[in-house]
Amino acid sequence: MTKVYELKINPEQDFDVDAIALVEEPAIEIDFIAFSKEEVLTDKLKFSMNDDKRELIGAALIPEIRIDRINKKTNERFKVFFSANTIRQIAQNYFKKGYQNNTNINHTSIPAESYVFQSYIVDSERGINAPNGIDLPDGSWVVGVKVESEKIWEEIKSGKLKGFSPEGLFQQIEQKFSKQFNPLDELKAINERLKNISTICYDVTT
């Protein structure tokens, strides 16, 4: 069985998200919505792009999504996820520590020549919704990024860079899941038990 870990931050111990990368394959599987004056929106699972202002907006983190990972030393495959509470902490700490200018390309030392200028947590009850064209659950972290480099903007337009990917150091807490409850299985078990019980009738009339 594949192991599942919840990822958490602890800024006091230097466990936090301190940069956002522009990547080819975002782990949360939400790409950019690429459109300009001449183009129309065709794919809702992408993130928004304004061709005149070089501004991007999209999901940085989505709660409870299982993200595939591999231990490079042991080749062990596992999954990780973030809770909605942890995502909120990450977003708040990101701005508290002033990490807005920390962006790179594909988690390398290559600067993305971009900065985060907008950030919010999706909360439908409060009327704080995902950007048009992106289907996101409550608790998702949405960021807006200003791209200053024409070269990087061209890579985004060509599809070389497709999404956001936060990076940092996390605490991994292994999750233990019991067998998922199935009401049909429970009903079958009850019926089997009833078959082995003798029926005794009592006459309670007087």
Give per-residue pLDDT as tens, 12-66: 999 999 999 999 988 877 655 443 333 333 343 345 555 667 889 999 999 999 9
Residues 6+ apart with CB under 8 A from 22: 103, 104, 105, 106, 112, 114, 145, 152, 156, 161, 163, 164, 165
Write the pLDDT tens digit of every residue in 125-184: 999 999 887 889 999 999 999 999 999 999 998 889 999 999 999 999 999 865 554 545
For the chain, how far is it from start to end, CA to CA, in angstroms? 62
Find the angle CA(77)-CA(163)-CA(51) to the nearest 5 degrees: 170
pLDDT above 90 as % of the chain:
56
**C-beta of residue 8 within 8 angstroms of C-beta of residue 178:** no
Predicted pLDDT of residue 135:
87
3-class DSSP state for residue 137? coil
Residue recorded with tokens 């599809």: 159
Q: Which tokens in the block code for residue 156?
A: 């985004």
Average pLDDT value for residue range 107-124: 96
